[in-house]
Amino acid sequence: MYFVLLLCIFLLEILAGVLAYIYYQQLNDELKQNLKATMTSKYGQSNENEHITQAVDKLQQEFKCCGSNNSTDWEESNWIRSAYSEGRKVPDSCCKTITKHCGRRDHPSNIYKVEGGCISKLEKFILDHLKIIGAVGVGIACVQIIGMVFTCCLYRSLKAEPY
């Protein structure tokens, strides 16, 4: 019974890995669309979207990037067109050295002008961590296979022993 349960868990893990590999590209495309839409329509718009604003600011600061694809993405944003931007061309979180209203000057010496923007940095981050998760998964699978082999050996030895 133990062997069967371990085998079921092992097969479910393989299925999850295969599905993750198959749907990775679809997830990646959705991430690209949603990040740009979030930045252009929800950033800095109201108090109810404050968590979105903070998340985008943290993303840009942590990954040292500006905009979804590049810093010109901010030109399409509702935030730039609103009074909240106070004349800034990009959010202050795009600045290499963050000071109040540093986003008014969008020169490469002041703003992160990474080609590919935050999307490329986020993709790289996810791929790097997927390799680690995959390696841990393979390690766990090896332990499970060893457990199944030992279970079979124990079962055979118990069956062969007279009571």
Residue found under tokens 């069967």: 4
Q: How distant, in Å, are the alpha carbons of 7, 71, 144, 149, 161 from that of 158?
A: 20, 68, 21, 14, 5
What are the two backbone dihedrals, phi and then psi, of residue 161, each rounded to the nearest 5 degrees?
-75, 130
pLDDT in tens, the chain (163 residues): 888 888 898 888 888 878 877 887 787 788 888 888 888 888 887 777 789 999 999 999 999 999 888 888 888 888 888 877 788 888 999 999 888 888 888 788 888 887 788 988 888 888 888 878 878 888 888 898 998 899 989 888 888 777 6
Confidence (pTM): 0.70
* Domain 2-160 annotated CATH 3.40.50.740: no
CA angle 16, 19, 20 (to 5 degrees): 85
